[in-house]
Amino acid sequence: MQPQFSHIAVIGKSHTSSSHAASTATGQPILTSLVDFLQRQGCHVVIEKETAAQWENHACPVMDVAGIAQHCDVALVVGGDGTMLGFGRQLAPHGIPLIGINQGRLGFITDIPLDQMEAALEPMLLGQYEEDHRILLHAQVWRGPDCVFDALALNDVVINRGASSGMVEMRVSVDGHFVANQRADGLIISTPTGSTAYALSAGGPLLQPALGGLVMVPIAPHTFSNRPLVLADLVEISIELVGGRDASANFDMQSMASLQMGDRLVVRKSPHHAVFLHPTGWNYFDTLRHKLHWNEGGS
């Protein structure tokens, strides 16, 4: 049978120990093994530009994200959730789905274990998979009439206090309606995807990815009654910095904007979705149970 995905981009972790240097059980480097497998399935393989820069001995074409968006049907990402977040944001506007092969730790969205890579991918290439759409946030930092920073986030947008300063004070509005002045170490605006990340450690709820909602979670709030708030994903959230020094806005903890007094962070749902593909039978609750070690010792 011909594969459903004939042109495939391979992306490897590029910021720590490189994926091509790590080995499979057979002793072959992971990316080399993956490319060999894909080519045996009749697929045309390209290597993402940053991945190729760390992997000299390959014979595949090299493309940047724009080239991948134009020429490829799917992207295979070998790494951890951080790698998937970065390329998920970049490829979402182009509608390119991603498959995650887990070389990280938790792996909420990079869910195929390395030792099951070929067995999981073979039916997926033939069209047997679960399709999983995830919303993104579009965030802008406004300084007076000027937008000084503009970014997408797949997990969350976070306002943090400065490392050497006290709490920040924020004026929070939703759809133009004043909600509260919050004093805290920071504030998280999270998608359902990000509800298992920083928002969870700050006491926020878990949101099923199919849910049309966002969660706003204060970080160590001054007032105990400032609790996590679940909002519809159609709202516009505006956060004005009215107190505190050296605050910053972080986007998936991978890009950052320094904030000045009076700056407004405006967050809304992006029109783009990240599309993740999982092996047939994948279920979000199975992932939670496994990754969060629920019911350990039970049946």
**What amino acid positions are annotated as catalytic residues?**
81
Domain that holds residue 234: 136-271
Domain assignment of residue 279, yes or no: no
Q: What is the pLDDT of residue 295?
A: 79
- Residue by residue, DSSP assigns 53-99 as HT--S--S-EE-HHHHHHH-SEEEEEE-HHHHHHHHHHHGGGT--EE
CA-CA distance, 187 to 267, in Å (whole number)? 12
Q: What domain count does the chain have?
A: 2
Tokens standing for 97?
Answer: 């789905």
Please identify every stretch of the chain with a pLDDT value under 70, giving residue numbers as ranges. Answer: 1, 13-28, 297-299
Both 143 and 260 in a single domain? yes
Q: What is the pLDDT of residue 297?
A: 60
In angstroms, the CA 266 to CA 189 distance is 11
CATH number of residue 214's parent domain: 2.60.200.30
pLDDT tens profile 148-193: 999 999 999 999 998 877 899 999 999 999 999 999 999 999 999 9
Verify that 62 and 147 share a domain, yes or no: no
Q: Are residues 182 and 254 in the same domain?
A: yes
Element holding 186 (H helix, E strand): strand 186-190
Q: Does residue 282 lie within any of the structural domains?
A: no
What's residue 262's pLDDT? 97
- Please check whether residue 103 lies inside any domain of the structure: yes
Taking the C-alpha atoms of residue 189 and residue 214, their distance in angstroms, rounded to an integer, is 7
**What is the reported pLDDT for 16?**
41
Tokens of 87: 């390329």
Long-range contacts of 63-70 (CB under 8 A, 24+ apart): 63/9, 65/90, 65/91, 68/9, 68/96, 69/94, 69/96
Strand-strand pairing, 7-12 and 74-79: parallel
